[in-house]
Amino acid sequence: MEDLVRKKALITGASRGIGRATAARFARGGYDLVLNCAHSIETLEAFGRELMEQWDILVTVVPGDVGKYDDVCRLFADLCHLEVLVNNAGVSYIGLLSEMSPEDWRMVLGTNLDSCFYTSRLAVPLMLKKHRGSIVNVSSVWGNVGASMEVAYSASKGAVNAFTKALAKELAPSGIQVNAVACGLIDTEMNGHLSAEDLEALREEIPADRMGTPEEVAEVIWQTAHAPAYLTGQVITVDGGWC
């Protein structure tokens, strides 16, 4: 009977951008979904209904701030099995480190890094039941090379990369894969603060001569979650050859 149970994926930060595209990709692949966001609840619920109608799957929307452990516990409260966890929720902060408040620092690290610990802590026991599963953490090229004026964001994503590699080693004997997808310049609302001039300057640095799309990243996440079991502990860069 176990094989007749439809696979389930949990995706955080699913109301827009990469998270939304990833939800659509997993829905197309026949997964039931648990989708989370902190603010755009009505938007995500409407999107969930669209996915259920289009793909004949079950979508559960659970609001909450994944930077808070109590909210993550509510996210997992009704889960009895989980095949894929995609840690996509993230926030950025643009500005000088010397002008950044401790509260803003804590907010960035909480949303981008603590959330990976909270969700993984609760997902792993569910995956251990079947001796398989996949955790995919959405990271950034700034976690590899750092970005001026984005110290907290860069630090959080660098930590996500290290978290990924360490947890992969811990879970490999149990058949659970842990990988990260480090994104370059992707056409999402997170980059909406950039002016047309800034975007053009960045585009000129990218060998692919354009921004990436959320759908391209979603496809890499899908492929990573379904890669052969020997692929684990990797930070896969999707940046058009930029970094």
The tens digit of pLDDT for each residue in 140-184 reads: 999 999 999 999 999 999 999 999 999 999 999 999 999 999 999
Identify the burial level of 175 via C-beta atoms within 10 angstroms of its C-beta, where 0-12 means exposed, 13-18 middle and 19 or more buried.
middle
Q: Regarding the domain delimited by 2-238, which CATH topology (the fold level of the hierarchy) does it fall under?
A: Rossmann fold (3.40.50)
Give the separation between CA 243 and CA 235, rounded to whole angstroms: 13
- pLDDT tens, residue by residue, 186-206: 988 777 677 788 888 888 889
Q: What integer pLDDT is reported at residue 202 of this predicted model?
A: 85
Give the separation between CA 222 and CA 36, rounded to whole angstroms: 18
Residue 55 structure tokens: 């793909």
- pLDDT tens, residue by residue, 203-219: 888 999 899 999 999 99
Q: Residue 194's CB: how many other CB atoms inside 10 A?
A: 14
Residue 128 structure tokens: 């251990």
Q: What integer pLDDT is reported at residue 5 of this predicted model?
A: 75
Question: Which is catalytic among the residues 69, 93, 118, 153?
Answer: 153
- pLDDT tens, residue by residue, 77-122: 999 999 999 999 999 999 999 999 999 999 999 999 999 999 999 9
DSSP 86-107: EE-------S-GGG--HHHHHH
- pLDDT tens, residue by residue, 17-27: 999 999 999 99
Is residue 1 scored above 50 in pLDDT? no
Q: What integer pLDDT is reported at residue 135 of this predicted model?
A: 98
The average confidence (pLDDT) of the chain is 95
Is residue 3 scored above 70 in pLDDT? no
Angle among Cα 213, 116, 96 to the nearest 5 degrees reads: 70
Q: What integer pLDDT is reported at residue 4 of this predicted model?
A: 63
Residue in the block written with tokens 């197309």: 28
Q: Report how far apart, in Å, the C-alpha atoms of 201 and of each of 2, 80, 164, 175, 197 are.
A: 52, 48, 32, 44, 6
Q: Global pTM?
A: 0.94
Q: What integer pLDDT is reported at residue 188 of this predicted model?
A: 84
Catalytic site includes residue 153: yes
